[in-house]
Copies of this chain bind each other. A is one copy, B any other.
């Protein structure tokens, strides 16, 4: 099988980590019978400055018509409002209907406080519909934004969370884990937002009441309390499902628990399509120095493969990354090491 993969480095360290993602895919053992074909695509602030578009139509068209997956690096947000510029990754998620943003956060097993959770973030609506208006009043400007929660999007994201919980349980049967049974925690703020978050809550419960999830325990947490618990008892959580904005916040919080955003992957997942995307940003402060941690991108490539139904190839990448971290000799500076991006990549390729 040959997979055609779009490569969208974007800005800043995106240009350093996406090539690492390409290298690991190319280095997968031939025995997997998996080939890759790459196409370079533009998006981001540099693209905006050069072409007038942060997300050129050509990028969306090639992804939609030719590719099965993609790797997306990071984009710089301008520090001042720039007319006509808006985040290409948010637009891409919506235009390709990549309705789930899946963010696993996991320590290596020998960690002092092992955690192993995945945040399943709704990826198309909530405040990210970006419908905003501003009006002048005698007391000054008043701006409003719409937070939209739909039954359809809530149902499918909760079902995705249930499926992931089952899949994780399956994998655990053959490898050690801190969890004994699958758990999905529904996060919302329905004590204040009874209609929007209330709908998310009700529909999520309904989706997860399907008999196929009978083995999955279901809990709920108000988002503020979820953040509290995330920091007090992170080891308790398995799969957390949340509307878009809470998922954004929770996944950065969870990343803090494993020591560096440079370790945390994500996948933007739709029907038969997945974009791997490291959770970190474009990090202009370290760009061009060859010290960015490539692990978030390597794990994102693996996560993309999982959702393209190539779990074996994904497992190989995860294992090689874990082996590098467990040995702890060649680490990038964000983890307290001195290795360059290239040295980390090469160490991991050797372990494939």
Contact = CB atoms under 8 A, between A and B. Distances in A.
Interface of A: 77, 81, 86-87, 90, 127-128, 130, 132-134, 137, 139-152, 155, 189-196, 198-199, 223-225, 227-232, 245, 248-249, 251-253, 255-257, 261, 281
Nearest to A132: B195
A134 B232 contact: no
Given A223-B249, A249-B249, A253-B231, A195 B134 contact: yes
B139 A151 contact: yes
B147 A141 contact: no
Contacts of A81: 190, 194, 198
A209 to B, nearest CB: 15
Nearest to A125: B142
Nearest to A201: B81
29 contacts: A81-B194, A81-B198, A127-B147, A127-B189, A130-B194, A134-B199, A140-B151, A141-B151, A142-B149, A143-B149, A144-B149, A144-B196, A145-B146, A145-B147, A145-B149, A145-B193, A145-B195, A145-B196, A146-B146, A146-B147, A224-B249, A225-B252, A225-B281, A227-B227, A228-B256, A231-B256, A231-B257, A249-B249, A253-B253
For the complex of A and B, list the 8 residue pairs with the smallest distance between their C-beta atoms, beginning with the closest: A140-B151, A132-B195, A231-B256, A224-B252, A228-B252, A141-B151, A143-B195, A143-B196
A75 to B, nearest CB: 10
Given A134-B195, A139-B150, 6 more contacts: A134-B199, A137-B150, A142-B148, A143-B149, A146-B146, A146-B147
Contacts of A145: 146-147, 149, 193, 195-196
A232 B255 CA distance: 10
A159 B281 CA distance: 31
B248 A224 contact: yes
A132 B249 contact: no
B249 A193 contact: no
Contacts of A134: 195, 199
